Amino acid sequence: MKELRNYIAGAWQSPVKNQWLDNPEPATGKVYSRLPDSTAEDVQMAVDAAKKAFPIWSAMSVEERSHIMLAIAQEMKLSFESLAEAESKDQGKPIHLSKVMDIPRAIQNIEFFATEILHMASESHGTKGVLNYTVHAPIGIVGCISPWNLPLYLFTWKIAPALATGNCVIAKPSELTPLTATMFAELCMKAGLPPGVLNILHGNGKNVGSAIVEHPDIRAISFTGGTVTGEHIASKAAPMFKKLSLELGGKNPSIIFADCDMQEVVQQAVRSAFTNQGEICLCGSRILIEDSVYEVFRDAFIQKVKQLNIGDPFEDGTNLGALVSKSHWEKVLSYIQLAKEEGGTILCGGSPVHPQGRCQDGWFIEPTVIEGLGNDCRTNQEEIFGPVVTLQRFSSEEEAIALANGTKYGLAANVWTQHLAKAHRIAHALDFGIVWINCWLIRDLRTPFGGMKDSGVGREGGFEALRFFTETKNVCVKF
């Protein structure tokens, strides 16, 4: 059985307390590796290593840091196939998706911030006899905590801007998906990242996650995960005056107007609902459809959903793989049961799947479409984070906006209409950090990324991320 280790001070380390966690493969339900169940003692070791590394890393020129990060990206390219295989085995997603989305994007994250840092400028403000200029200095040691749905993709999305700006990082991937982060550490060693600049600790949130959040020498926390966890982290970090970036849950609407390109919408709505088994914070899980095209959309959508293949992530042609864990699988099934109790009609799916062969004990669920529920029920208010979507009708722009905005979340919305003015009107009225018009999940890494309301605090991406990982200082010179 594979044994993963923590990566501290540029070397592999077993957990101080010698406690371990099992890591099962979601597609088979069988344990295939174990990982450290790290504690505050391991965090202290990582902080000590980061303290030693900080003067070296922060003193390097941006060109030198950029050069090392580009070397890491190059190593990732050389390990592309094995990273993609590891991601699918660990997370349950189709291998095709790892190859077209997760691993390319993880590489792009490193390349993007390695080069963006070369273009980060500081401001100056001149007036008579006085010059103010602003310095963006690294914070020091920062913590990055990432979830299991897009493991290496979101892990690198956080650590890349942190490293580029000259910080040393203590990072924790989800305990459910530790594999690619561990492989990433190996590639960092090969690429010549100085020891202690990046330290990767495995283990569960309650132990090692909390110890990272509460360590007084870790001065900023960048977290992506559930809203309840985000609230808990904020309650611990805010009284310590740490910088906080929180990317949290969503309950995203797809808003479909009668004047849309229906063929394109049906195709994209299936993608937005079920990519990665619906385990993407940006997935459209509430589909709102204008009355006059409700039946047309519903019938075409159901027909397409029924064509999706569920099964072994390593088989060609699989569209939906396994859900990440048994407990998450049970949670999603319990929401399907809840939807029935709330009066919803299951139009397709709704059941667990047990594929024949090696995956018969894996955690699979049919893509599920539900209609007949009001916006206020729990099914339409709570994040399910699985292959489950609901359909609702609306009869006016005002009603569409009210339904879309009618949850505590505000992460992402997608809107489908050929009417230009209407598209802009709706986009401005929506309380979401990201609005896609006639598309879904097109990402330009320079744009601000993040949610409103209970979907988070702060923005990632582009210069927003570089600014988050720096302290801003103004210097005023009289001459």
The catalytic site residues sit at 247, 281
Name the one range near ligand NDP by CB under 6 A: 9-17, 162-170, 244-252, 343-351: 244-252
Count of H helices and E strands in the chain? 16, 25
Return the amino acid letter for 136.
Answer: H
To ligand NDP, the closest distance from the beta carbon of 65 in angstroms equals: 25
Tokens standing for residue 377: 């029920």
Return the amino acid letter for 343.
Answer: G
To ligand NDP, the closest distance from the beta carbon of 50 in angstroms equals: 18
148 binds ligand NDP per the rule CB under 6 A: yes
Contacts of ligand NDP in 361-400 (CB under 6 A)? 383, 385
DSSP codes joined into one string, 94-142: -HHHIIIIIHHHHHHHHHHHHHHGGG----EEEETTEEEEEEEEE-SEE
Is residue 42 within 8 Å of residue 170, measured between CB atoms?
Answer: no
Strand pairing category for 2-3 and 124-127: unpaired
Longest dimension (CA), the chain: 79
Q: How far apart are CA 115 and CA 113, in angstroms?
A: 5
248 binds ligand NDP per the rule CB under 6 A: yes
To ligand NDP, the closest distance from the beta carbon of 206 in angstroms equals: 5
Name the one range near ligand NDP by CB under 6 A: 80-88, 116-124, 308-316, 451-459: 451-459
Binding string to ligand NDP for residues 194 to 233, with x set by CB under 6 A, is what? ----------xxx--xx--x----------xxx--x--xx
The footprint of ligand NDP on this chain (CB under 6 A) covers a number of residues equal to 33
Is residue 224 within 8 Å of residue 154, measured between CB atoms?
Answer: yes
Residue listed under structure tokens 């709706």: 426
Is residue 400 within 8 Å of residue 394, measured between CB atoms?
Answer: yes
Tokens standing for residue 78: 């050389």
Name the one range near ligand NDP by CB under 6 A: 181-189, 338-346, 360-368, 450-458: 450-458
Smaller CB distance to ligand NDP: residue 8 or 150?
Answer: 150
Smaller CB distance to ligand NDP: residue 355 or 458?
Answer: 458
408 binds ligand NDP per the rule CB under 6 A: no
Determine which residue in the list 156, 174, 180, 268 makes contact with ligand NDP, applying CB under 6 A: 174
Residue closest to 468 by CA, chosen among 217, 244, 148: 244
424 binds ligand NDP per the rule CB under 6 A: no
To ligand NDP, the closest distance from the beta carbon of 388 in angstroms equals: 14
- Which positions lie near ligand NDP, rule CB under 6 A? 145-149, 154, 172, 174-176, 204-206, 209-210, 213, 224-226, 229, 232-233, 247-250, 281, 383, 385, 411, 451, 455-456
